[in-house]
Amino acid sequence: MQTPEPEPWGLEPDPTEPRSAVRPPVGLWGLGERLTWIAALVLALSPFMDWYAGREAGAGSFTLSVIGWHTGPLGKLVFLIGALLILLTVAREFGLELPPVVPESLVVIALGSLATIFVLVRLIWIPDTFLPASGRGIGVYIALIAGLAVIAAGLLRAGEEL
């Protein structure tokens, strides 16, 4: 008597195929990757928030608000860094990875540091063209927190890679 052949879609695993030792990250170990794309999304959106705000004195006073995109090249570079980080995360989801010589966590930390420096420059130094808007808006602080969160996400990812 012959034993029946198992169905190709059967529930039994094929013993000839190697089992993957890599499991999807769960719990705290998956936090670095999730935090990367969330912080990158906030960082990419932050140049479209108000970075400077103030009241114009005089007749018919009004409130002036300047978004980060209009603060010069640094606002645009912050957006570009956020978009690059999102692209890096999406590419990893589709199976495209950086070469093993360049750890992804190092790239995330470097880009987050660069974005944080750009935001700190804009936080400390207000361009002369925006002097009526001498106060800082909430958007520049959100961008700073997002940049620091990208650095923290890169550090968490470095811990996951070890």
Given a cut of 70, is residue 121 above it in pLDDT? yes
Measuring CA to CA, which residue among 69, 64, 63 is closest to residue 139?
Answer: 69
Please state whether the predicted TM-score (pTM) of the whole model is above 0.85.
no
- List CB contacts of 1: < 8 A, sequence separation 6 or more: none
Domain ranges of the chain: 41-55+62-161
* Token output for 23: 């499991």
Query: What pLDDT score was predicted for residue 146?
Result: 97
12-55 confidence digits (pLDDT tens): 555 666 555 444 555 555 788 889 999 999 999 999 999 888 77
75 versus 97: the higher-pLDDT residue is 75
